[in-house]
Amino acid sequence: MTLNMVVNRKPVSVEIEPYARLLDVLRTQLKLTGAKEGCGIGECGACTVILDGETVDSCITLAASCEGKSIETIEGISDGDQLHPVQQAFVEHNAMQCGFCIPGLVLSGKNILDKYPEADRERIVEAISGNLCRCTGYKQVVDAIEDAKDKIDE
């Protein structure tokens, strides 16, 4: 079947199997490997993408259900070498180590600030609670997202 979506602001059309997972379509067919598979059951959040303004685990999202929808992946939020303010804040706070979970954490951080530009620490913590990170202990990640809050409008 043919799937039509908007991925990172560009319309795409791909031939998919009816049972394909969104994660596989992104990684294998569209070569967007920033979303990772960590658990395959929607627990770790490494496969997080933004679907019509909501974060989803793409490993448990049926690709066919994304017909006509708009998807943002980690590859779409920076502009060439110009990082998104959330990404820039991760640099400044050293909020990463192995980096495997980082695309998911950045997208969860970006999305909560898109929805609630004034999000407080508690809301940020809750927003990333679906993203497991084994390296950082989350503190620098939360610091980074909180810090990015003031920089998004600039």
Partner 1 sequence: MFQEIPRVDVKAKLTGRAKYADDLQFPNMIYAAMVRSTIAHGDVLSIDATKALSQDDVLGILTWKDIPGLSNKGKERPVLVESRVRFIGDGIAMVVAKSQKAAREAAKLVEIRYQPLAAVFDVKESMKKTAGWIHGRSNVETIISMQHGHVEDGFEEADVIYEESVSTQRVQHAAIEPESAVAVYQEDHMEVYCPPKSPFNVRRVVAETLDVSVNKVRLISAVVGGSFGGKDYDMSLLASRVALVAKRYQKPCKMTYTREESIMEGTKRHPYQIDYKIGAKKDGTLTGLSVQMVSDAGAYLSKSAMVAWRSCVESGGPYRIPHVKTDISVVYTNQIYSDSLRGFGSPQVDFGLEVVMDGLAERLQMDPLALRLKNALQDGDVHATGQVLSGVSIEKCLLALKDKSDYEQTRKRIASFNRDHASGPYRLGFGIAALHRGEALGAGGEGIDTAGVYVHIEKDGSVIIYSGLSEVGQGCQTMMVRIVSEILGIHSSRIRVTTLDTDYVPDSGPTVASRGTVIAGNATVLAAEELKTKITEVLSQKKWFKKNAELVFQNETITLRHNPEVSVSYQDAIKMVFSQGENLYGHGWWSAPKLVWDWKKGQGDAYFNYVYGACGCEVKVNIETGKTDIVRFVAVHDVGTALNIEEVYGQICGGVAMGIGYGLTEEVQLREGKIINDNFDTYLMPTAMDIGEIEPVILQEHSAIGPLGAKGLGEPVTSIVAPAITNAISDALQSRIVDLPADLERVLAHVKKGDAR
x/- map, 1-30, partner 1, by CB under 8 A: --------------------------x---
| Site residues (CB under 8 A) for partner 1, limited to 120-149 | 125-126, 128-142
Using the rule CB under 8 A, is 111 a contact of partner 1? no
Least distance to partner 1, CB of residue 42, Å? 9
Least distance to partner 1, CB of residue 110, Å? 12
Using the rule CB under 8 A, is 32 a contact of partner 1? yes
Using the rule CB under 8 A, is 116 a contact of partner 1? no
Using CB under 8 A as the binding criterion, the count of chain residues that bind partner 1 stands at 53
Residue 128 to residue 24: CA distance in whole angstroms? 23
DSSP-assigned letters across all residues of the chain: -EEEEEETTEEEEEE--TT-BHHHIIIIIS--TTS--SSSSSSS-TTEEEETTEEEEGGGSBGGGGTT-EEE-GGGTSBTTB--HHHHHHHHTT--SS-TTHHHHHHHHHHHHHH-TT--HHHHHHHTTTS--SSS-SHHHHHHHHHHTTTS--
Q: Which is nearest to 65 in space by CA: 30, 130, 20?
A: 20
Nearer to partner 1, 25 or 90 (CB): 90
Using the rule CB under 8 A, is 49 a contact of partner 1? no
Least distance to partner 1, CB of residue 128, Å? 5
- Contacting residues toward partner 1, per CB under 8 A: 27, 31-41, 43-44, 46, 73-75, 78, 83, 87, 90-103, 106, 125-126, 128-142
